[in-house]
A = this chain, B = another copy of it.
Amino acid sequence: MSETVSIKEVAARAGVSPGTVSNVLNRPEKVAGATRSRVEQVIRELGFVRHGSASTLRAGHSRTIGLSVIDIGNPFFTDVAAGVEDLASDRGYAVILGNSAGSRSKEERNLLVFAEQRVRGVLITPSDDDPHRLERLRARGIAVVLVDHPADRADQCAVSVNDVTGGTMAAAHLLEGGAERLAYVAGPATMRQCRERRIGAERALAAAGLDPGRLRVLEMTAMTAKAGQQAAELLLADLPDAVFCANDLLALGLLRGLLQAGVRVPEQVSLIGYDDIDFASASTVSLSSVRQPTYQLGRVATELLLDECDNPDTHAHQQIMFQPELVVRESSR
């Protein structure tokens, strides 16, 4: 049943050699017009589809890239993935998606799969700062571009957003609104993003002449709406004036928890999240947030990766750092 038609059959039917068919496929300019159109005709007739594995095996590289993200359930990452997918697909690359779900072992397993598939390159938002795994990939000749994480070395592309600045923006905004008692609700400190946003916030306190030690920090185990709601319970006993959440999922959960407990937002507590996911503006008390150029993040990272793959000689490694943008909405007005 599974009639797979190979390049040979196309060649036979078109009266040329397999090599010529391959040329039609890969360097059409090398083959005479008449021959080319004849071959193309036969390809259509027979419904020939190139065997990617054979091609990869012989050519030594594939037309796939691996994308490893921390939480596919977070709209932030789906936006990144959309950026990756759009560009990759335009350039004829397939994307293999791996969700590390914050687990180091899952991440490692995904990278192994990528290595087995001999992906052309890997885009990864690492779940921690250990560069070891990535070294291993590079040692195999697989290009790696870090996404939402600064480079750990110069011969390495990375696309990130300045999280310290973002943290400063968020906290400064809350302080300007008159807040004196500030809380920071974050995920695990193993995540660089959480640490840096905190540093930024502390910097804002210092700039306002306040003791950075006054920042009340809640470190939740996850960065989900559920965790945000738990954070609300923790805060209810002693409400701060304002809360900065390390991402919008936390903030939305927190918001709900506070409102359910009868706390008025922003009158009693003002609130700001991070990422500016779509749902931030759609929530009823619309959520202030720190916008990151999410889709661009994915797109630019892919651009760099494909450049590194396709033009290894001229490729110059780049560390791109975008600036975040403050978006003020009802929750902090």
Contacts and interface: CB of A to CB of B under 8 A. Distances in A.
B53 A118 contact: yes
A246 to B, nearest CB: 16
Contacts of A54: 53, 57
Interface stretch (A11-19, A29-37, A135-143): A135-143
A240 interface: no
B99 A96 contact: no
Contacts of A53: 52-54, 56-57, 62, 117-118
A170 interface: no
Interface in A44-84: 47, 49-54, 56-57, 62-64, 72-73, 75, 78-79, 81-82
Interface in A89-121: 89, 94-99, 106, 109-110, 112-113, 115-118
A59 B256 CA distance: 53
Interface string A197-239: 0000000000000000000000000001100000000000000
Given A3-B139, A256-B282, A85 B72 contact: yes
Contacts of A224: 278
A50 B116 contact: yes
B52 A117 contact: yes
B85 A279 contact: no
Count this chain's copies in the assembly: 2
Interface string A254-281: 0110010000000000000000001101
A150 interface: no
Contact of A116 (B51, B118, B136): B51
Given A52-B118, A282-B253, A140 B78 contact: no
A2 interface: yes
A13 to B, nearest CB: 18
A82 B75 contact: no
Given A73-B82, A252-B279, 19 more contacts: A2-B139, A2-B140, A2-B141, A4-B141, A47-B136, A52-B53, A57-B57, A63-B116, A64-B96, A72-B82, A73-B75, A94-B96, A95-B96, A96-B96, A224-B278, A255-B282, A256-B282, A284-B284, A284-B285
30 contacts: A2-B140, A49-B115, A49-B140, A52-B116, A52-B118, A53-B62, A53-B118, A57-B57, A73-B75, A73-B79, A73-B82, A75-B75, A78-B78, A82-B99, A85-B98, A89-B98, A89-B106, A89-B110, A94-B98, A94-B116, A96-B96, A96-B97, A97-B97, A225-B278, A225-B279, A252-B279, A252-B282, A255-B282, A256-B282, A256-B284
